[in-house]
Chain A
C-alpha cells in the first residue's frame, strides 16, 4: 500500500486499471475510451497502462465507448469506462442498454454541468439525469473515498445477487483536478478483493442465446421487476463488500450514508460529494457553540437508502437537503428523494436548497447561510436557490 499525492483523475484511473488487471487470470478486461473535460486524464491513464490481458479501445464517441463495454461484458470480460456531462448525455441510450442487459460494467462519472451554456465546472445534473437508468449510483467526497468506492463498485456490480452496472460519481475539478493524498492498494490486494469476473449470461457457443431481442409485455415486466429486486438487494450486499474490503485493505470505506451528530440533533443537513466535506467542517464548528446540529453525507443514491434515512431522521425537527443539481419544474433531486422517503413523518420541516449550480463554490459561508435560513423558517417552501437567499 503506497501513500501518494495525486489528482482525482489519476486516482480513478489507477483504481480502474488495478481492477481490470485483477481479471487477467479470467477473461481479461476491456473498455471504450473517449475524452471529455474534466474526465480526459482518466482515459489517458488507462490507455497508457499496460494490461497483461486487456485493451482500452479509443472509440469515436461516448455512445460507442459504452457499446464496447457492452460487447466486452457480453464476452465475459471486466468492462469499464469514464465520462462526463454531455458525454454521458450522448451515451445515454447505451447506458440504459447496459443496465437492462444486467452487465456489471463500472463507469466513473466526473460530474460537470450539462451544456448549454458551456460550462466545464461541477454539477451533479449529468449523472442524476441517469437516475432512472438501471445503474447503481455512488457519490464520493475525497480521493480515498474515490479509490475505495471504485473497487467496491466492481465487487458490488459483479456480485451474483446484483449483476447491475455501477457509476461512481465525483465532483469535477474539485476532486478530478485537485491533488490529495490517498492510500493506493497494491495489485495483489486488489487481486484478493476482486474475484474472477463472472457474467453468467455471457454469450457462449455451447449455449447459443439471443440477448436483447423482442420480449412481450409480460416478460418485459418480469425482467424489470427482477432489476428492482436486484437493486433492493444492493442494500444487503453492500455491507458485505465493505466488510471484505476492511478485511483485505485494513481500512473501511464510507458506508451507504454517513451520519455525524445526528442522534441528538434538532437540525440535520443532508449533502453529497465534496459539499458534505465542507458541511462537516461547518457543523463541527457550530457544535462547539452548542448548536444541536448534525450531518448526513450521502454516498448511495441508487438504490436510494430510504429506510436508513427514515431511521436516522425520525424525531429530527428541521432538515435541509443541499442539491448541486436542478430538475426544472420540480427542484433538487436529492431533495425530492428525501421528501418522498420521509412522507410518513409529521412535523419535520424539510427544506431543499439549490446551491453551487454550474460549479459555483459551496463555501462554509454558503452552508452557514443555509443553516441560518433554515432556523428562521416555520414551514417548508419551494426549493430555495442560493442566489435568491443571498
Chain B
C-alpha cells in the first residue's frame, strides 16, 4: 500500500500550488490557523468539501500535514478515532476537523452533535461560505434568508440556522467565531482553543467569490464589513454558559456589505427585516454577555 503523497515537513499547512479559487476565505483561514497553532502541527480530518479539493489530485497534496479525507457526514467520528488513539499513545498532535457549512450544518450535524456531546478532544473549524461551494453554489441551512443560489433561484425562504447556539447548547468548553479580517482575534482564539481540552467549535465566515458573486480582492474587506455592520458577531462562549463579545458593530450600514455581493441582489430580500433581526440578535447577545459574562 504505497498510495501516499510525499511532502516536506517544513512546508506550510497550506502549500503553494493548491487549487483554491482566488479570494477564497478558506485559504486565508488555513494560513491564520497555522499562525495560531505556532509550532504545533495538526492532523486534519476533512469531509467532502472545498477543503479537500484544496489538496489537489494524487500523488500531490496541497497540505503539508497528515490529512484524512472522510465521507461527507463523518469528519467528527473519524476525528474521534484519531484523537482517541493519539491519546492512548500520548501523541501531542491536535486533531482538527476542517469542514464546510454543508458538512457542519446539514449532513454532518448528527455526527458533530454526538462528538460534542461526548466532549471528544477535537478542534472543529467550520469555514462557512453559506453555500455548497464544492458543488457550485447550492442552498444550505447556513444560507441567509433571501439569498440567491442555484437551488434558490428566487431567494432562500428560510433564515440561517444558528449553529453557534446549537453547539453552545452542548455545553462544550469553547465555542467562538472567527473573522479572517481580524487577525489578532483569530490567532488568540486558535491559541485559546489549543489550550483547552475537549470539544472546541470555531465558526469562520468564509468569503466565496464564486458563490457570493463578489470580487476576489474584496473578500477580506467583506468579512470586515460583516463584523462592523453586526451581521457576524465576534464572540466566545465558554462551557455554553459564559459569553464574551470581542468586537461590537460600529454603525457601518448593512448595505455596505450586501451591495458588493450580487447574491443579495434579489427583490425577495427584505432589508428592513434583516436589519431588525440583526438588532434583535445583538440585544440578546448583549443581555447574555451582561448576565453571564466570561471571567
Contact = CB atoms under 8 A, between A and B. Distances in A.
Nearest to B72: A93
A73 B1 CA distance: 14
Interface stretch (A40-48, A75-83, A271-279): A75-83
A215 B58 contact: yes
Contact of A213 (B67, B88, B113): B67
Given A64-B111, A67-B78, 6 more contacts: A30-B81, A71-B79, A71-B80, A205-B65, A214-B53, A214-B56
Contacts of A32: 77, 80-81
Interface in B1-55: 1-7, 9, 41, 43, 45, 52-53, 55
B66 A208 contact: yes
Interface stretch (A55-63, A120-128, A293-301): A55-63
Contacts of B234: none
Given A55-B84, A67-B111, A72-B81, A204 B66 contact: yes
A54 B86 CA distance: 11
A60 B113 CA distance: 9
B45 A71 contact: yes
A303 interface: no
Contacts of A67: 70-71, 74, 77-78, 80-81, 111
Nearest to A93: B71
A74 B68 contact: yes
A225 to B, nearest CB: 12
Interface string A139-169: 0000000000000000000000001000000
Contacts of B71: 67, 93-94, 97
Given A94-B71, A210-B69, A70 B88 contact: no
A213 B65 contact: no
Nearest to A57: B80
A212 B63 CA distance: 13
Given A70-B74, A71-B77, A71-B81, A208 B52 contact: no
A60 B110 contact: yes
B89 to A, nearest CB: 6
Contacts of B7: 208-209
A201 B118 CA distance: 28
B57 interface: yes
A217 to B, nearest CB: 11
A72 B82 contact: yes
B68 A64 contact: no
Contacts of B56: 213-214
Interface string A331-353: 00000000000000000000000
Nearest to B43: A203
Given A28-B89, A203-B82, A163 B118 contact: no
B85 A76 contact: yes
B294 to A, nearest CB: 30
B85 A209 contact: no
A206 interface: yes
A71 B1 contact: no
A97 B47 CA distance: 12
A79 B81 contact: yes
B81 A68 contact: yes
B8 to A, nearest CB: 9
A63 B56 CA distance: 26
B234 to A, nearest CB: 31
A214 B80 contact: no
A54 B68 contact: no
B55 A214 contact: yes
Contact of A201 (B3, B6, B77): B3
Given A213-B58, A213-B67, A55 B88 contact: yes
Nearest to A28: B88
B88 A77 contact: yes
Interface string A210-225: 1111111001000100
Leading 4 A-B pairs by shortest Cβ distance: A71-B81, A212-B69, A67-B77, A75-B85
Contact of B70 (A60, A70, A219): A70
A21 B80 CA distance: 20
A205 B88 CA distance: 17
A59 to B, nearest CB: 6
A69 interface: yes
Contacts of B88: 27-28, 30, 53-55, 77
18 contacts: A27-B85, A28-B88, A32-B80, A60-B110, A60-B113, A67-B74, A68-B80, A77-B88, A94-B71, A97-B71, A204-B66, A207-B4, A208-B66, A211-B66, A212-B70, A213-B67, A216-B57, A223-B3
B196 interface: no
B93 interface: yes
Chain A CB within 10 Å, residue with most, of B6, B77, B110: B77
Interface in A71-110: 71-77, 79, 93-94, 97, 102
B169 interface: no
A215 B57 contact: yes
A211 B85 contact: no
A60 B111 contact: yes
Contacts of A211: 4, 66-69
B75 to A, nearest CB: 8
A200 interface: yes
Contacts of B81: 30, 32, 57, 67-75, 77, 79
